[in-house]
Amino acid sequence: MVDKYVEKLVDNSVDKCVNNLVDNCADKCTVIEGNAMINQQFMGQSQPSEAPTWATLWSGYLSQFHPINSNFKQENQSLVQGYLLELSTALERGDSCIALKEKPQQIDEFLLDVGEYQAQDVSTFRQLKPMFWDQGRLYLQRYWRYEHDLAQRIARLLVQHVEQVDLAPYLSLFEDPYQQQALAQGVNSAFSLITGGPGTGKTFVLTHIVAVLKKFYPDMRIAMVAPTGKAAQRMQEALQKAFQNPKLLDAGLYHPDFAHQQTQTIHRLLGIGERGVPRFDASRPLGHDVIVVDEASMLDLHLAKLLFDAIQAPTRVILLGDANQLTSVDVGYVLADFQQVPALQQRHVQLKHSRRFVDDAKIGQFAKLIYATDRPSYAYFLEKAQPQMLQIGDEIPKLAQVNVDWLGFYSLQQSEHASLDTSTLIAIYRQLALGYQAYFSILKDYLAGKVNHQQVAQVFDQYRILVAMRHGALGLAQINLAMTQHLKYALNLVQDSEWFVGRAVMVSSNDYQLGVSNGDIGICLPHPDKREQLEVYFPSLDKWLAVARLPQSIQTAFALTIHKSQGSEFDHVAVVLDQSAQRLMGKELLYTAITRAKKMVSLFSSVTMFEHSLAVRTQRQSGLSAQIIRAIESNGL
């Protein structure tokens, strides 16, 4: 039995790294030994461990070489070290700053108070201090600059004049009034923000915005970008499908450029190389007339700053995204910050009616209830979403048998103090592998020459396992290993090799020489023209690459982290929430996971873990919205 292969995977799988993972919870407290002044001020921060070596060395370096530090005391150096440590911890959480009740004292040599220099342009100072204080927020200088520069760019966009287009002939193309508003905003504004959940028509509206712009400005240069390679590819697929809508042709809105419209990552658009330096910036701006950014919820502060640095008048910007999805992996929550600015709210349209999930769709109801109240209960979930309650081993419907959609809940008997036993874990792995049975079957057909590689890829993309964390018995590594064993057993593969028929892999970094991007997924198969040679086929790129050419960082991808799944869609998604991932879970992670599914969701979780996920919402510290408001006011808006 395959279970014998899997059983050895279960031992020693308790996650030993979870205490080092980023915590989404907002109600945290900070204590720094010997620094009572700091302890009284920090609100809502996590408890740090010992000061890392870099914080100690940096604070010592600053106190030794700062030009005005001759009387700087050892205890003050300890204060600097404490603040640097807290700022580092904040950055790990995704916060750009920390909120304090009072301005830090006794460290003036290292702290610049922005409020004292309102009459001057802080960005022109030659000798700046490592920390900035700005209206109750403490920053490292770099992150204050990121927010400041981005805010200035946004403020300039808002005063940019745009020639108005009469849209009356085209409003009838939409039945949804919110989509009509989005069309008007996208065509007649220099800055537009269009948000909405899955199936609300963001891509549909975007194609009409682009079509109208191309009708009135045929030579307009439009860039379509997304934060990741996978999101850019999904954008490409959706746009190509939407551009084929015969109604565009009937309305006289079709343009030949649509057949060749390409999408790319923001990194590629800006020409960011391995060193992280962009080719395009404020001194060498992009030459496009319109920049469209999809999956804008994934946009972090630094990347947003680089992008807007390279945008100058009269370029227009259109951002699309789902504000309920996960925040960016790196520092900042740019999309949410934009929505807090009154002047940007006037440029924002929220699409509300989903075409993917009909009114009685269980997945749609589930997605809505996640944000329906602050703390939806398990009982509330059962009442509103009405999932099918399952035990491990229960039979579930096949995709072809599902008319509308299907939601199943496996209640795991797991707690913070009681882990799952070996036999239960093996049964869970077996249940998860059932979703890949159609894939295992078509692999056999491919080896027999009955189907082609595109058909294999289509079946593989029907199902995916999504996990919250990398480590642990129900983490990414263990589940991928278990699925590998199930595949090898199904295909009777006996060799113990890194590369084998059916191995699914994900690229984890951009490689422009190979033409692959972070998030690209491929399948290891015998090449159709060289059957004795294993290569990796990338469906989204429709290209083959020899396994020897692929980077060492490539990862097995039967299971994905929920973060990595953003921008993807599958017919059936199995969402696995390990109890040890509690510090990572929240509304955004759960919402993102279930909305990757088009027809079926299988949810594996304990009741306590599930309720925790419904109760916690990500809150990031940022001063970006305040800086934008200030920049707008200084421009007289």
Measured between alpha carbons, how far is 549 from 504 in angstroms, rounded to an integer? 16
Helix 362-370 × helix 587-594 angle, to 10°: 160
User: Is residue 46's pLDDT more than 60?
Assistant: no
More confident residue, 188 or 106: 188
Q: Is 200 annotated in some ligand binding site?
A: yes
Cα angle, residue 184 at apex, residues 182 and 188 outer, rounded to 5°: 125
Are 572 and 440 within 8 A, CB to CB? no
Cα angle, residue 472 at apex, residues 470 and 478 outer, rounded to 5°: 75
Q: What is the pLDDT of residue 92?
A: 87
Ranked by mean pLDDT, which of 122-126, 262-266, 555-559 comes out on top? 555-559
User: Is residue 549's pLDDT more than 50?
Assistant: yes
Averaged pLDDT for residues 162-187: 92
Phi/psi zone of residue 630: left (φ > 0), alpha (ψ -120 to 50 degrees), beta? alpha
Q: What is the pLDDT of residue 512?
A: 75
pLDDT tens column, 55-83: 556 555 555 545 444 455 666 777 888 88
Q: Is 229 annotated in some ligand binding site?
A: no
Residue with structure tokens 């200084």?
Answer: 634
Whether residue 387 has a cis bond before it, omega within 30° of 0: no
**pTM attached to this predicted model:** 0.83
Sheet holding 290-293: strands in order across?
Answer: 263-265, 222-226, 290-293, 316-321, 191-196, 348-351
Q: Is 472 annotated in some ligand binding site?
A: no
Averaged pLDDT for residues 279-297: 94
The residues near 110 (Cβ < 8 Å, ≥ 6 apart) are 62, 66, 80, 129, 130, 131
Q: Is 196 annotated in some ligand binding site?
A: yes
Q: What is the pLDDT of residue 17?
A: 36
Residue 148: pLDDT band with limits 50, 70, 90: very high
More confident residue, 116 or 120: 116
Token output for 29: 């407290």
Q: What is the pLDDT of residue 16?
A: 34
Backbone phi, then psi, for 401, in 5-degree steps? -90, -10
The structural domains of the chain, ordered by start, are: 152-356+620-635 (3.40.50.300), 375-495+558-614 (3.40.50.300)
Measured between alpha carbons, how far is 351 from 354 in angstroms, rounded to an integer? 8
Could you say which DSSP state residue 103 is in? Answer: -
**Where are the extended beta strands (E) located within 485-628?**
504-506, 521-527, 530-538, 543-546, 555-556, 559-561, 570-576, 597-605
Cα angle, residue 131 at apex, residues 128 and 136 outer, rounded to 5°: 125
User: Is residue 228's pLDDT more than 60?
Assistant: yes
Neighbour tally for 71: CB within 10 Å: 7
Average pLDDT over the chain, rounded to an integer: 84
Q: Is 424 annotated in some ligand binding site?
A: no
Ranked by mean pLDDT, which of 193-207, 390-404, 479-493, 598-612 comes out on top? 479-493
Are 472 and 13 within 8 A, CB to CB? yes
Segment (H or E) for 265: strand 263-265
Q: Is 608 annotated in some ligand binding site?
A: no
Closest to 391 measured CA to CA, from 427, 341, 439? 427
Q: What is the pLDDT of residue 457?
A: 96
Averaged pLDDT for residues 301-313: 95
Q: Is 201 annotated in some ligand binding site?
A: yes
pLDDT tens column, 395-428: 898 888 888 889 999 998 866 656 778 888 999 9
Residue with structure tokens 């461990």?
Answer: 49
pLDDT tens column, 570-597: 999 999 998 877 777 889 999 999 999 9
Reported as half-sphere exposure (CB side, CA atoms, 13 A), residue 67 has a value of 3
Residue 247: pLDDT band with limits 50, 70, 90: confident
